């Protein structure tokens, strides 16, 4: 199965997508121009995002966010991102939202941004059927004190739309235990929990995330492959990995897709799902991800159906939504 047209039509569930990271460069460039913000260094000659290495990527991501100022910007962004995802067969997406970029963690501002995003999600659902749920996300390198504010935003707005709490950012900063308070607060609010771990740091970081933050899902988690006992532990306990193969290759974690451990993790019994992370930054989309998996590992319809089933089971959403997606 290598026909991109056919691959695009397969129903997909994406559990790991950063809203700002999915912003088309042309959208950000236009906003920056309107606001007289100089982001010229952010784009290459083809108008694509320009960055180098993980630190460069994080800096480019934050630079792009500087153009996103108002709830209306986030409304427009959400519509574009969801329409684009739907065009690749995505029927359900969990999207990381960062109050750090939407009012700097202030709860009053956050409510306005969130209302705009949710209104756009409702429009997209009525236009193309795609269902979005939100994972409020703190940013690790902004530190544990700021993470508490973000957890408070998550707690205050937990419900039908905000269903999860997570942490992204630079995994080499701070220790997971320093964020336990925030994850405990989010758990008490009934939110599903996920944390980026085992992307840049090794297996011990995944163990610490599981032990200290008690998450059911791990963002990336691919470096578990370096520790056979850890992979067995993930398999036995049904921990779900939100793998993003194209992201890992673009960031230089693996030289080629065929070197990526997603197939080996799955063969060893770990529950894996597939997402794009920050598609325009990594020149990917869900069709391209599926195409790469088909080409590199020979995955076909039954493999993709199993991936979708795993994602549905692991989704942070209620039973009626789950039933609707079946």
φ, ψ at 67 (rounded to 5°): -85, -20
Report the distance separating Cα 69 and Cα 78, nearest Å.
14
Query: What does 247 bind: ligand ADE, Zn ion, none (CB cut-off 5 to 8 Å by kind)?
Result: ligand ADE
295's enclosing H/E stretch is: helix 286-297
Nearer to ligand ADE, 7 or 272 (CB): 272
CB of 40 to Zn ion, least distance (A): 26
Q: What is the separation, in whole angstroms, between the first and last Cα of the chain? A: 23
Report the distance separating Cα 229 and Cα 226, nearest Å.
9
φ, ψ at 179 (rounded to 5°): -110, 10
Site size toward Zn ion (CB under 5 A) is 1
CB of 223 to ligand ADE, least distance (A): 13
Nearer to ligand ADE, 169 or 292 (CB): 169
Applying CB under 6 A, the residues found at the interface with ligand ADE are 18, 21, 61, 168-169, 196, 199, 247, 277-278
Identify the residue among 94, 277, 289, 291 touching Zn ion (CB under 5 A).
Answer: 277
- Closest to 54 (Cα-Cα) out of 134, 135, 140: 140
Nearer to ligand ADE, 244 or 294 (CB): 244
CB of 19 to ligand ADE, least distance (A): 10
Using alpha carbons, list the distances in angstroms from residue 139 to 41, 117, 204, 290. 24, 19, 20, 29
Query: What does 169 bind: ligand ADE, Zn ion, none (CB cut-off 5 to 8 Å by kind)?
Result: ligand ADE
79's enclosing H/E stretch is: helix 71-87
φ, ψ at 133 (rounded to 5°): -125, 155
Q: Provide the total of helices (H) and of strands (E) in the chain, helices listed first.
A: 14, 8
Give catalytic residue positions: 199
Nearer to ligand ADE, 8 or 94 (CB): 94
Which range of residues in 52-60, 106-114, 275-283, 316-324 is near Zn ion by CB under 5 A? Answer: 275-283
126's enclosing H/E stretch is: helix 107-128
Nearer to Zn ion, 73 or 277 (CB): 277
Query: What does 280 bind: Zn ion, ligand ADE, none (CB cut-off 5 to 8 Å by kind)?
Result: none
Which range of residues in 1-9, 232-240, 271-279, 318-326 is near Zn ion by CB under 5 A? Answer: 271-279
CB of 45 to Zn ion, least distance (A): 27
Question: Which residue has its beta carbon closest to ligand ADE?
Answer: 168
- Closest to 92 (Cα-Cα) out of 312, 313, 304: 312
Contact set with Zn ion (CB under 5 A): 277
């Amino acid at each position: 199965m290598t026909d991109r047209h056919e691959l695009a039509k397969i129903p997909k569930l994406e559990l790991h997508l950063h809203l700002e990271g999915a912003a088309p460069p042309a959208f950000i460039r236009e906003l920056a121009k309107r606001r007289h913000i100089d982001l010229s260094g952010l784009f290459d000659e083809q108008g694509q995002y320009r960055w180098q290495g993980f630190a460069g990527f994080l800096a480019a991501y934050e630079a792009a966010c500087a153009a996103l100022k108002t709830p209306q910007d986030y409304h427009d962004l959400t519509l574009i991102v969801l329409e684009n995802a739907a065009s690749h067969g995505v029927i359900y997406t969990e999207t990381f939202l960062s109050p750090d970029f939407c009012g700097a963690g202030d709860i009053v501002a956050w409510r306005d941004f969130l209302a705009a995003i949710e209104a756009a999600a409702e429009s997209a659902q009525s236009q193309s059927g795609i269902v979005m749920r939100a994972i409020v996300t703190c940013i690790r390198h902004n530190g544990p004190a700021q993470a508490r504010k973000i957890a408070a935003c998550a707690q205050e707005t937990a419900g039908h739309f905000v269903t999860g709490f997570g942490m992204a950012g630079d995994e080499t900063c701070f220790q997971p235990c320093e964020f336990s308070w925030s994850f405990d607060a989010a758990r008490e609010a009934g939110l599903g929990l996920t944390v980026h771990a085992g992307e840049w740091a090794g297996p011990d970081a995944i163990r610490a995330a599981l032990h200290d933050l008690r998450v059911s899902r791990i963002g990336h988690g691919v470096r578990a492959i370096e520790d056979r006992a850890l992979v067995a532990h993930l398999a036995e306990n049904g921990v779900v990995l939100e793998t993003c193969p194209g992201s890992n290759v673009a960031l230089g974690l693996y030289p080629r897709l065929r070197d990526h451990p997603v197939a080996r993790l799955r063969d060893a019994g770990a529950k894996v799902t597939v997402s794009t992370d920050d598609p325009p930054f990594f020149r990917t989309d869900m069709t391209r991800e599926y195409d790469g998996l088909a080409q590199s590992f020979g995955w076909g319809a039954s493999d993709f159906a199993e991936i979708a089933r795993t994602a549905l089971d692991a989704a942070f959403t209620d039973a009626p939504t789950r039933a609707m997606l079946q």
